[in-house]
Structure 1
Amino acid sequence: MPDRVNDTAAAYCRIWAERGVRAWEEEWWLLARDIGDRIGRLINAAPDTVTMQPNVTSAQAVILSCFDFTPPRDKVVMVDMEFPSMLYLYRRWLEGRGRVEVVTSDDGITVPLDKLLSAIDETTLLVPVSHVFFRSATILDAKAVIERAHEVGAMVVLDIFQSIGTVPVDVAALETDFAVGGCLKWLCGGPGACFMYVRPDLNRQLQPRLTGWLAHENPFAFERETLRFTTGAYRFLNGTPVIPAYYTCQPGLEIISEIGVPAIRERSVTMTSYLIAEAQKRGWSVFTPTDPAQRGGTVSLQLPEAATVCERLLAQDFLVDYRPEAGVRVSPHFYNTDNELSDLIAAIDDILADMN
């Protein structure tokens, strides 16, 4: 958590206490657009094309609600390495109205690109895929997926939660149709500040069924019969925004912008390369690509009794986490030092020795 969060959280409380309902008109009403545009600048998105959402599952559901899945274009292509929420959502949503084809990984680390591309055909409507997979930190060749999807008339929902802030993302250059992500991880924000990008031309056309009063062009008219969609990012909002989350995510966005993602990426590659080299010296299984060009900011270590190792590391204030199949995930960021990384390796050595 950035130190500045204390100030922005206090500012929210002060404005709430001093201005009350007036804060909506004076500051809060446009905050979702302002924060969306800040995130947009990190991913080269046009102004007013990034909509804030409470979580990525909600963002994906809003996108899903824009489409009918009428045959013959009624298929969604996914990868079995996606975060479970996405698999749950798409399978449940498409029950009785469409199909989900899940492309399986051979090793759990990556997915054969040709296998994924061949699954995308003229019956495909959406391809929701991660730019960086959450267990292995493998970087997907998103450009190839997007080009194949567009070749057959399909659209791509690119999940950049595990890449934004540590791997450069350019939605305009990629020509992705949608992108979703959040501030919780590499953007050093808290929960409740997630987002969705919609390609500018789609931004003006789509009409989500998962909607609400904020999507109305004149929300304070409180019209009951007709929803006249507004233009721009607010078209994809629904209920009242999570205002406190927008205050607490701002310092992280400022810091990432000040440092710059290219510099963060350079430092990240150095740190993850060190972790992999040390793991290989010790014979530990690495569940992450060794090639930096194929690797995001995380290194997953398949250690003996990995869940227990993770618990003991957390007890020593090493902020790692455990994921089934992947093992202990280590995600160093720009603020971590070389000594902290070497201390972590030494701590794992000690824990494993103690467990034997």
Structure 2
Amino acid sequence: MTSHSLAKVAIRISRGYTEPSPGDRRRRAYLTDELLEWRREFPILESAVYLISHSLGAMPRRTYERLQEYADVWATRGVRAWAEGWWEMPQTVGDEVGRVIGADPGTVVMHQNVSVCQSLILSCFDTTRETRRNKIVYSELEFPSVMYVYEAHARDGRFRIEKIKSDDGVTAPLAATLAAIDEETLLVPVSHVLFKSASLQDARAITERAHEVGALVVLDTYQSAGTVPFSVKELDVDFCTGGSVKWLCGGPGAGYLYVAPRLQQQLEPKVTGWMAHAEPFSFEETITYAEGAARFLHGSPAVPALYAAESGYKIINEIGVARIRAKSVRQTQRLIELAEAAGLRVTSPHDPAQRGGTITVAADHAPAVTRELIRRETIVDYRPGAGIRISPHFYTKDEELEHVIREIRAILDTRAYAPHEAAGAAF
């Protein structure tokens, strides 16, 4: 410590100053938590302790207004609505979520879900059993729906899959992943944040290795968008997928697909439809792909889902993901402290630089404990091999963190979980 710093400390002590305790710091953070002003925007927070944004984010009040607007437009404008905004929505709404993920306007289009997006990506590539570059590399900890897509396409032998084993069931080993990516690798699908443990993966390192050998990266940001700041441009990924259901508070039925501009004109997806045509209303017998990201559209969009999703995206952009992340890091760290003080084992990474927005707690009888929590209007979920998943978001109060851990401990101590033992996991 410098003499100047020592002098400052001496002055503070002489004035009766004492270093704030961790509890004091937490109280100050709570009292200055401007993000709590957003609580009034989410009706479910009035009746439940809602800690499940990793699964389904709370619905904003403005979503009512947007869905009413959709109904009014349909009722009063009829088919003219397509020419008055509906047709462009897969791209205009894509631009809004593009702001969240650091994408340029015109590079993101909307689809129904990530399975569709990843199937569309895979359909861009022609391979045979004899093709040297036909390997797909991913971790065994990827979300199952994504693995199902690739495994189904690999059944006829056109693709080979190399699945990376996890040593601990929590993290995907980076070194093993990098070693598996070679000159025979076509695609590397990777979750930015793993869905069970919230382990945050080094997407930049994976992308750099993939590009060294000519492979392409498909980054699934479902568990990071809206709670972890990132830019698809800075990460230099080739494709990015995700959806509105979770941290983006946009509801189901709206997934997004980013395709790097350098690739757009090179690719012709076989999962396609009339919206991908350069002149869709010419109704030609064969497809001529549109320019840019529009060529990655397919059939008519789920317009109501896009109305709903846009509300969540705009809220996230109004707040800013950096502010959300700062609160998330503080609250997830507090959850770890509370859980361990209560004798519970945390299976998520302890280092905030290596985790997303969820804390997973291992507990005996976890599925039944989860059901009892939900009965008590404390909304969390359970995943096999991980435990009880708890996710504070920007609208979470600090006392709700203490509440959920206190409830878990009480349910275990009183065996209140027992009536739920035969029911299995929730959600």
One fold, TM greater than 0.5?
Answer: yes
- 1:331 is aligned to 2:391: yes
- Partner of residue 166, structure 2: 105
Quick check: 2:277–2:295 contact (8 Å CA) kept in 1?
yes
- 1:131 is aligned to 2:189: no
AA paired with 2:179? S
Q: Which runs of 5+ in 2 are unaligned?
A: 1-58, 417-427
Query: C-alpha root-mean-square deviation of aligned residues, in Å?
Result: 0.9
Deviation at 1:346, TM superposition (A): 1.5
Quick check: 1:69–1:125 contact (8 Å CA) kept in 2?
no
Partner SS for 1:274: helix
- 1:252 is aligned to 2:307: no
- Match runs of 1:202-351 below 5 Å: 202-224=263-285, 226-351=286-411
AA paired with 1:87? M
Quick check: 2:193–2:223 contact (8 Å CA) kept in 1?
yes
AA paired with 2:193? V
Deviation at 1:231, TM superposition (A): 1.1
- Partner of residue 206, structure 2: 145
AA paired with 2:415? M
Partners of 2:347 and 2:248 in 1: CA distance: 24
Partners of 2:239 and 2:333 in 1: CA distance: 31
Deviation at 1:101, TM superposition (A): 0.3
- Match runs of 1:60-71 below 5 Å: 60-70=118-128, 71=131
- 1:52 is aligned to 2:110: yes
- 1:25 is aligned to 2:83: yes
Partners of 1:84 and 1:284 in 2: CA distance: 27
AA paired with 1:156? V
Partners of 1:335 and 1:81 in 2: CA distance: 29
Partners of 2:106 and 2:91 in 1: CA distance: 7
Partner SS for 2:267: coil
AA paired with 1:65? S
Partners of 1:49 and 1:203 in 2: CA distance: 9
Deviation digits for residues 100-134 of structure 1, max 9, x if unmatched? 00001000110221111000000000000000000
- Partner of residue 421, structure 2: none
Partner SS for 1:21: helix
Partner SS for 1:188: coil
- Partner of residue 354, structure 1: 414
Q: Which piece of structure 1 moves more, 86-95 or 191-200? A: 86-95
AA paired with 1:214? M
Partners of 1:266 and 1:86 in 2: CA distance: 30
Partners of 1:317 and 1:19 in 2: CA distance: 41
- Partner of residue 256, structure 2: 195
Deviation digits for residues 241-288 of structure 1, max 9, x if unmatched? 010011111221111111100000000011110111111112212110
Quick check: 1:110–1:138 contact (8 Å CA) kept in 2?
yes
Partner SS for 1:77: strand
Deviation at 1:201, TM superposition (A): 1.4
Matched length: 355
Partners of 1:39 and 1:237 in 2: CA distance: 16
AA paired with 2:342? R
Runs of 4+ in 1 over 6 A off after TM superposition: none
Partner SS for 2:85: helix
Deviation at 1:350, TM superposition (A): 1.5
Partner SS for 1:20: helix
Quick check: 2:114–2:256 contact (8 Å CA) kept in 1?
yes
Quick check: 1:178–1:199 contact (8 Å CA) kept in 2?
yes
Q: Which piece of structure 1 moves more, 280-289 or 113-122? A: 280-289
Q: Which piece of structure 1 moves more, 82-91 or 147-156? A: 82-91
Quick check: 1:136–1:300 contact (8 Å CA) kept in 2?
yes
Partners of 2:181 and 2:171 in 1: CA distance: 17
Q: Highest CA radius of gyration, 1 or 2?
A: 2
Deviation at 1:72, TM superposition (A): 0.6
> TM-score, normalising length from structure 1?
0.98
- Partner of residue 239, structure 2: 178
Q: Which of the numbers 71, 96, 101 marks the counterpart of 1:13?
A: 71
> TM-score, normalising length from structure 2?
0.82
Deviation at 1:228, TM superposition (A): 0.4
Q: Which piece of structure 1 moves more, 131-140 or 38-47? A: 38-47
Partners of 1:90 and 1:26 in 2: CA distance: 38
Partners of 1:320 and 1:233 in 2: CA distance: 37
AA paired with 2:268? Q
